[in-house]
Amino acid sequence: MLAGGLDGRLACQESPGFFDVTDLLTAEAFAPHQALAAQLLAHATEGDDGSHDLAHIHRVFRNAMRIQAGEGGDPEVLAAAVLLHDCVAVEKNSPLRAQASRLAAEKASGILAELGWAEDRIARVAHAVLTHSFSANIPPETLEAKILQDADRLDAIGMVGVARCFYIAGRMGSGLYHPGDPGAEHRPLDDRRYAIDHFPAKLLKLSDGFQTATGRVLAEERHQRLEQFLTLFRDEI
Ligand SMILES: [Fe+2]
């Protein structure tokens, strides 16, 4: 849990992660929305998943602000949606996974209502949170929702995406790859058992589905990094 001041470092009271967030996250990390961050960071994450921790929220925020600078949209609605998009944690292999973004949208609405936000702006944040997730499979209809989805998906590709893929595989007890057929040339893909299968099963497809022009440019760069990683990985096994 975090408590933050507008001009000071955020104080970590019960970090659920694996690092002292005071060393990484200052109020300035969420500039120019540090006041909003100070209100919402305590609700931003739950659980002990290092692929969906405060560092993830911070990276998605940076991605979102970068895309917003090129695309427009309401920056405060977007910042709130980023800060609350993973406020309900559901493991990747849970049967409740597809409901995670709906639960997060409901929780986010309650948090913003308590802070006195107007209903129409709460609804815009909730729509973005609801539609950001791959598992929910609901099309984003507003610019802020499209930017959040792009910003979150950018964190699933590139080198950070590689790191998060293997982290999640470790949590689920998966192996790295099938030793007899690592490229899945003579077997169906099984990304529950082999981390490397998650690349063709999902990660290499993500760059095709970006919603904004700015997001697509960033995604293409990270997609190429994914392919470079796979080439180098296969060279070593
Ligand atoms: Fe996320």
Decide if 42 contacts 5 (C-beta within 8 A): no
The rounded Å distance from CA 236 to ligand 1 centre is: 31
Q: Pull the structure tokens for residue 91.
A: 């493991």
What pLDDT does 13 receive?
37
Cα separation values, 106 from 40, 102, 174, Å: 15, 6, 32
Residues 101-111 as b/e (b if ≥16 CB within 10 A, e otherwise) read bbbbbebbbeb
Q: Which residues pair with 9 in a beta bridge?
A: 26
pLDDT in tens, 43-60: 998 888 899 999 999 999
Domains parsed from the chain with CATH numbers: 1-155 (1.10.3210), 160-237 (1.20.58.1910)
What pLDDT does 161 receive?
98
The rounded Å distance from CA 192 to ligand 1 centre is: 20
DSSP string for 30-99? GTT-HHHHHHHGGGS--SS-TTSSHHHHHHHHHHHHHHHHHH---HHHHHHHHHHTTSS---TT-TTGGG
The rounded Å distance from CA 210 to ligand 1 centre is: 15
The rounded Å distance from CA 93 to ligand 1 centre is: 16
The rounded Å distance from CA 58 to ligand 1 centre is: 10
The rounded Å distance from CA 45 to ligand 1 centre is: 10
pLDDT in tens, 3-15: 333 333 343 334 4
Residue ranges for the chain with pLDDT beneath 70? 1-27
In this structure, what DSSP letter does residue 14 have? S
The rounded Å distance from CA 156 to ligand 1 centre is: 9
